[in-house]
Amino acid sequence: MNARSLMINPYVGLRPYESEDSLYYFGRSEQTKNLLSLLHQHRFVAVVGSSGCGKSSLVRAGLIPHLEAGFLVQERDQWQIATMKPGEAPLDNLISTITAVGGKRADAESFKHLHKQVRERGVLALVDALGSILPQQDANLLLMVDQFEELFRFSLDQNKPQLRHEAEEFVALLLGLSRQRQLPIFICLTMRSDFLGDCDAFYRLPEAINQSQFLVPRLTRDQRREAIVNPTLLAGGLIAPRLVDLLLNENIDTRDDLPILQHLLMRCWDAWQAGPNSPDQIDLAHYHQVHTIHQALNDHADEALAELDVRQQRLAKQLFQALTCTDESNRRIRRPAHLSDVRNLTGATTEELQEVVDAFIHKGRSFLVKSPGKIPDDILLDISHESLIRQWNILGEWVEEEAEAFKTYRRLVETAELHTEKASRLYRGADLTQAMRWRDEHNAIWAQRYPGDFDRVDLFLEQSLKVEKEEERKAEEIQKKIKAQTDRANFFAAKAFEEKAINGFKKAEISLYLQDYQDAWLYMLEAMKQHFNPDEMPFAPISIGNFARIDMLKTFAAKWFSPTTKTQYHVASVAFSPDGKLMASGSWNDNCVRLWRVSSGENIHTFKEHDFHVTSVAFSPDGKLLASGSWDKTVRIWDISSRKLIYVFKGHTKYVSSVAFSPDSKLIASGSWDREILLWDIKTFKLVHSFKGHRNNVTSITFSPNGNIMASGSWDNEVRLWDINSRETIHVFKEHRFCVSSVTFSRNGDFLASGSWDQEVLLWDVKAFKMIRSFKGHRDKVSSIAFSPDGNILASGSWDNEVRLWDVKSGKTTFIIKGHTDQVFSVAFSPDGKLLATGSRDTTVRLWDIEPDKAIPILTGHDFHITSASFSPDGKLLATGSGDRTIRLWDVESWETIHIFDGHDLSVQAVAISPNGQFLASGSWDKRVRVWSLKSFKQVALFEGHTDRVTSVAFNGDGKFLASSSVDKTVRLWDVYSPEKSRVFDDFSEPVNSVASSPAGRSMSLVSASKNNPQGRWTVYDNTVKYEWEFKKTFAPVHSVAFSLDGNFIAGDSMNNSLCVWDALLGNPGKIFQGHSAPITSVAFSPDGKFLISGSKDNTIRLWDTNLGEMIHVFENAGEVLSIAYSPDGKFIVSGSWGENFLRIWDLRFFKAVTKMLAKPNLTEKVSAAFQFFWERSLKKGITFVHDSRKPSLSPTNGYYLADVDKFGSLLKPPAPGETKLDQVMRWAEEEVARETKS
């Protein structure tokens, strides 16, 4: 152990300095003298200042030690010091403090007696009580009332007049003690200056404060130097002069500069003391190690939170929300609470709370403080300093969330009262949904913190829900009648077109005329559209051939992109021309700017004049010019039509990182690593202005649509708004925790988005200067962002190789594009919003078809990968289990989370909803099986008996029994209604991977799957168990099994990554389905038994026709598939994958329509022949149907991409009246084939 490890850290962090810390308290000697002088003149002094200015420390570590040292002697030499806070019972706290002055706390009876005396005689009772103590000790008394503003928080509550009365009595006693002259009693209170206006609510308090107020000033530069340097010197350490100068020059929040500085110095000392090879003095390395003065406090608190598990983090959120509040003036303030109150609010045990509290107190942390009590429940918890609320981003979000919850509660209280008085209607629709979501998260105990009748609100919501359900039931009956009539009409229309198609193909077979084939083709497509309208599909067709060629159906499960725009070097920036016909890209290593034709992917020109990496490209809004910025410190302007260099702007002293044109094309701005933004005039080529303000490299700039505002992002973690006309800074957004890499305005100019290396995208309200929401999901730095032209979608590219599409209104991820093999540097939308261009370090520029109706929906909410999924029998609910230890219940119609079941200690591995829809079962790696009520959302049963991880659960047909399999080599059968009854099947020599139950009948037919035999089927009926048969011809471990809905077939994986279907009665193997290249992890039958789906570790989900034994489609996935489930209506499937914390939803309606058409023997051959003819003829011209990123295009340099109508540009004629997208593409295709035939 070296001498440094024995040194005491002289900095206290966030908490105030105490008397015992006075040795290390520097920088306030002048203020201490002034305060002593004021106290000498007046016995009542109010120390007032802003939050974080050091009021408490000045009194505790400055004034009090000087009094005890004899600097202010009145009648006596000695001083008794008594400190208190008003709290919610100021009178009781005052009496308790007075009784403790003599060093001996009075018993309950004495306290009660003094309390009664004070009520009857007022201040005289207190003087008499102190009169027997102070003379004996020859002492003066200083009564310090810290955080006096607490009095207003509780006393001004109009719903609790008794608190107001007690507060008035408390103030009168303080003033009375300071005015009496029998005893030398001095009063010193500390109060936030923003509460001064509340003092006029108390008689004579404003006059007393005005007479002897001490306003705490800010520290001068020399005083700050003392506070930084002297404690270290006194403790035996040194701090580098350059670090001192940096701290003195840092521009930080003036409200919180002292607590932030103290916390930073505490952390720097710890880092210096802990480093075995640290230099002799605290230096810049330690400063950066603790993440600088701007991030040290936030990151330190984040570090404490990260040490907790998911449940503890949720508890920490509830704890901090209980210890903070927002008052009527929208001030965020502390709210101390007893441990017992927090325990009742959260439902946690005392031990669980203590663990969470300790995480924010121990290990050199001082985020919370505990005032001791006789028993743990009496412990008073408080936030160490209000600066934590402002500086810890997560806590700020929690406080804001709590404030919004209270606003919602207040509205509900008012509405419920009005409804009682017949002055308001019950809630409906979105209002009710939002209110019920609020109700799920807040209870009566929580409501006790706020005024209002919670029971009345609860009754109001129950009545609203009951009425809405009845209205929905009636509306559903009407819709069923309408649908029945529509389906009947569509059926007859489809039959008519099918008949015409069959006759047309017969005619074409004889005539061999192209026109006859085309006529038959059109009839066939019209028949198909009656089964399913392509224009209403979630995944619109990308190429015409998809309608009949099964091997091309893959286009519906993956986004389209063109692989042809490939360079030899990293692509740093991409941009579309205003008309969408051209695209520009800037390359990193070859210093080139390339111009591409979007329709063909052809590189039509390369500009090679830059001398270093090209970092940014931008088209002028009029489409005439192209600008490029480079690390050669220049901005170059190119003429699009002549392809010539027009001008080179030189002015930056370091790398140029970003360029942007003004909306009128008259100005161009450039941002640089020299921390400046230069504004240039395009016409005169002169420098107009230099914008200075950023403290680090400028990374991104953008103009607002009206051209009046410019936004910029920087490595200083800030986003700045500039007024183009006045050249002044309008506002600075400081919420990012790391470098800001990209900024962009929405089309209407109301919103600004910023992407950062902190892996987040933030959305800002430009007019209100506030953050609206945060988009979280990327796993690495966000490098580029872009709004869609309609402002509804936000795209972000990241170093995690992904591009995410976000819904701007909800903040949810709508799609994740995984195609790049390296970091994504740039994203840009085409002007029509239908294409997204991305540039990457993998040397490619890719075009993605991102129309909203083509996106594969995903469900976000879980914090870890999803291991299991189960639909309710009516298809209205979906349950998902996850590695985050929770089960989520989703509303299938809205895809919103209804409830989160939290109770398992480890990963939830299996979920199942009972056939009657009343219960949800879950199995976990914690070896337990839990049963939850889907009505009350409460746990109704806990099954314990497995000695290792539970792998699968399944209900029998009537929901009475529940089976579970486990790694402990057993299958257990549980009686749901009699939990004590269970049966164990332990004839297994290996862990059991899966168990399935036949949905048919009262008896329970169990199928289990394990690594080795025995594995097979049992029948359970009236507590009688019969072994039926063993799987035959598997020759390999079985990982997953499933029954068909009628109970006649069982599907499971078999040897060589194949899928097998067995006869459920005899166990005879049937068809073998082959295609997967890795083990199968999950299988499921469609409700009608005609289809089978399988998920595999080969990152695919495959759809099979059980009758033909053929694969219909392959859904490409980003990771190993862990779970799949078929919806009861057979319209879609859901899947969860390894490494993804969201659920994918795959629409099956189109595939079923195609299969239905192709199943007709007299159509299949004719359709295939027609399409093959069209396909071969098209190849002669090089028409390319690009549908899969893994297959090269057929004509990479000059292909037409049938991705959508608008991508053909001039090739397509305007649509005829009533013509659909499909009709327009078909008409173009017919004309192309006709031309080819003639030539």
Assigned domain for 1151 exists: no
Q: Say how far apart CA 420 and CA 515 lie, in whole Å.
A: 73
HSE toward the beta carbon, residue 76, CA cutoff 13 A: 17
Q: Say how far apart CA 543 and CA 1061 lie, in whole Å.
A: 34
pLDDT at 1001: 55
- pLDDT of 681 over the 80 cut: yes
Q: Say how far apart CA 916 and CA 887 lie, in whole Å.
A: 19
pLDDT at 1238: 45
Both 713 and 829 in a single domain?
yes
Supply the pTM of this predicted model: 0.46
Both 568 and 555 in a single domain?
no
Give me the amino acid identity at 794: L
Nearest to 232 by CA among 277, 265, 267: 265
Provide the number of structural domains found in the chain: 6
pLDDT band at 743 (very low <50, low <70, confident <90, very high): very high
- pLDDT of 1160 over the 60 cut: no
pLDDT band at 1203 (very low <50, low <70, confident <90, very high): very low
- pLDDT of 563 over the 60 cut: no
Q: For residue 116, what are the contacts with CB-CB under 8 A and spacing of at least 6?
A: none
- Which of 833, 849, 865 corresponds to the end of one domain? 849
Assigned domain for 1044 exists: no
For range 1056-1075, the mean pLDDT = 77
For range 214-222, the mean pLDDT = 93
% the chain with pLDDT above 90: 30
pLDDT band at 35 (very low <50, low <70, confident <90, very high): very high
pLDDT at 179: 92
**pLDDT one-digit tens code per residue, 155-184:** 655 556 677 888 999 999 999 999 998 899
- Which of 796, 828, 849 corresponds to the end of one domain? 849
Write the CATH number for 325: 1.10.10
Write the CATH number for 237: 1.10.8
**pLDDT one-digit tens code per residue, 113-149:** 888 888 889 899 899 888 877 877 778 899 999 999 9
% the chain with pLDDT above 70: 79
Assigned domain for 248 exists: yes
Look at 798 and 1117; give whichever has higher pLDDT: 798
For range 328-347, the mean pLDDT = 86
- pLDDT of 104 over the 70 cut: no
Give me the amino acid identity at 785: I
Both 694 and 726 in a single domain?
yes
Both 162 and 137 in a single domain?
yes
CA distances from 438 to 205, 409, 889, 1203 (A): 41, 8, 16, 43
For range 1118-1132, the mean pLDDT = 83
**pLDDT one-digit tens code per residue, 692-731:** 999 999 999 999 999 999 999 999 999 999 999 989 999 9
- pLDDT of 747 over the 70 cut: yes
Both 202 and 341 in a single domain?
no
pLDDT band at 842 (very low <50, low <70, confident <90, very high): confident
Assigned domain for 1001 exists: no
Domain extent for 241 = 221-299
- pLDDT of 422 over the 80 cut: no
960 backbone dihedrals φ, ψ, rounded to 5°:
-80, -35
Nearest to 875 by CA among 852, 860, 858, 891: 891
pLDDT at 556: 27
Both 82 and 202 in a single domain?
yes
pLDDT at 1020: 52
pLDDT at 1004: 57
**pLDDT one-digit tens code per residue, 435-453:** 888 888 888 888 888 888 8
Both 117 and 72 in a single domain?
yes
Burial of 408 (0-12, 13-18, 19+ CB in 10 A): middle
pLDDT band at 583 (very low <50, low <70, confident <90, very high): confident
Assigned domain for 1053 exists: no
pLDDT band at 759 (very low <50, low <70, confident <90, very high): very high
For range 962-969, the mean pLDDT = 88
For range 52-59, the mean pLDDT = 92
Q: For residue 647, what are the contacts with CB-CB under 8 A and spacing of at least 6?
A: 636, 637, 685
ω into residue 1014 within 30 of 0, thus cis?
A: yes
Write the CATH number for 704: 2.130.10.10
Look at 152 and 1; give whichever has higher pLDDT: 152
Side by side, which strands form the sheet with 337-338?
A: 337-338, 380-383, 368-371
Both 319 and 352 in a single domain?
yes
- pLDDT of 259 over the 50 cut: yes
The encoded tokens of residue 929 equal 């099986």
pLDDT band at 428 (very low <50, low <70, confident <90, very high): confident
Assigned domain for 856 exists: no
- pLDDT of 461 over the 50 cut: yes
Q: What is the average pLDDT value for the chain, to the nearest integer? A: 79
pLDDT at 1209: 34
Contact 13, 241 (CB under 8 A): no
pLDDT at 1071: 80
Assigned domain for 1009 exists: no
Q: For residue 133, what are the contacts with CB-CB under 8 A and spacing of at least 6?
A: 80, 101, 102
For range 479-508, the mean pLDDT = 71
The encoded tokens of residue 538 equal 């979630």
Where is 297: in which H helix or E strand? helix 292-306
Looking at the DSSP bridge assignments, the partners of residue 380 are 338, 371
Both 254 and 327 in a single domain?
no
pLDDT at 671: 95
SS3 labels along 303-358: HHHHCCCHHHHHHHHHHHHHCEEECCCCCEEECCEEHHHHHHHHCCCHHHHHHHHH
Both 573 and 468 in a single domain?
no
Q: Assign residue 811 a region: left if phi > 0, alpha if psi is -120 to 50, beta otherwise?
A: left
- pLDDT of 1121 over the 90 cut: no
- pLDDT of 352 over the 70 cut: yes
CA distances from 55 to 66, 411, 916, 1137 (A): 16, 37, 64, 55
pLDDT at 1019: 58
Write the CATH number for 127: 3.40.50.300
Both 290 and 315 in a single domain?
no
pLDDT at 1163: 42
- pLDDT of 1190 over the 50 cut: no
The encoded tokens of residue 53 equal 């200015």
pLDDT at 682: 92
Q: Say how far apart CA 95 and CA 124 lie, in whole Å.
A: 13
- Which of 154, 182, 215 corresponds to the end of one domain? 215
The encoded tokens of residue 1118 equal 């980003």
Q: Tell me how long the chain is.
A: 1239
Assigned domain for 857 exists: no
pLDDT band at 282 (very low <50, low <70, confident <90, very high): very high
For range 220-240, the mean pLDDT = 93
Look at 132 and 1007; give whichever has higher pLDDT: 132
pLDDT at 1188: 29
| Range in 491-505, 528-542, 914-928, 947-961 the model is least confident about | 528-542
pLDDT at 263: 92
Contact 212, 179 (CB under 8 A): no
pLDDT at 536: 36
For range 379-383, the mean pLDDT = 89
Q: Is the dihedral of CA 797, 800, 806, 808 positive or negative?
A: negative
Both 710 and 785 in a single domain?
yes
